[in-house]
Amino acid sequence: MRGCTIRRVLSGLIALCVPYLVVAQPAGAAPATRAAPAVGASAAAAAAPAASAAPAASAAPAAPMPDYHPSMGDLMTMAIQPRHAKLGIAGRQKNWTYAAYELSELRNAFARIGRTIPTYRTADTAAVIDAMTREPLAALDQAIKNADANRFASSYAALTAACNGCHRSQEHPMVVIKVPRGEPYPDQEFGH
């Protein structure tokens, strides 16, 4: 029974996503999109090439898909918050190898946000992030390298406070980040 439900959900997801796939074309050729399958179509039918659809001459041209431009909130929720939480959990579990990985990923995510949204309101995003996080991230790096759980905890608390200070400076005081309690990722092992 459960397998049937999963197949229906996957089939529905495929049916929703296929219209947005772009079919590979030779260099210089205009991109072609696949025809949208009927709801409830099988995965095989959903993946069928556009050639099996109605002739191109009678098909209406597809409306261009708008570019997705994530907001600062989108990027913080998708890239920063999970890394912040995972870093905290890894440090609490004293999994220093994984904590080093998440610290690197958090730094990279901050850099990507600075490139994606160079100016937020009137502030230089990269400069604000650097000013707010440089010291706590460096302290976390040292705590991880020294496998120092106490220094990690205090440095992580300082990073969390810096995040909240940044939120306040950008007129988002209602966005309050905290040290994670428990493990919000039940499908991931954070211990050794």
Domain count, the chain: 2
Contact 34, 50 (CB under 8 A): yes
Alpha helices in 18-78 (DSSP H): 43-46, 72-75
Q: Over the stretch 15-51, which tens digit does the pLDDT of each residue have?
A: 444 443 343 444 454 544 444 444 444 444 444 444 4
With respect to residue 60, please indicate whether it lies within any of the assigned structural domains.
no
With respect to residue 175, please indicate whether it lies within any of the assigned structural domains.
no
pLDDT at 57 over 50: yes
Q: Are residues 33 and 121 in the same domain?
A: no
Q: Are residues 25 and 114 in the same domain?
A: no
Q: Are residues 15 and 98 in the same domain?
A: no
Q: Are residues 42 and 91 in the same domain?
A: no
Q: Over the stretch 133-192, which tens digit does the pLDDT of each residue have?
A: 999 999 999 999 999 999 999 999 999 999 999 999 999 999 999 999 988 888 999 887
- On the 0-12 / 13-18 / 19+ scale of CB atoms within 10 A, 35 is middle
Structure tokens, 150: 């106490």
Q: How far is CA 131 from CA 86, 137, 175, in A?
A: 23, 11, 19
* Torsion 35-38-39-43 (CA) sign: negative
Q: Are residues 45 and 79 in the same domain?
A: no
With respect to residue 183, please indicate whether it lies within any of the assigned structural domains.
no
With respect to residue 7, please indicate whether it lies within any of the assigned structural domains.
yes
Q: What is the residue type of 169?
A: S
Domain residues for the domain of 13 are 2-52
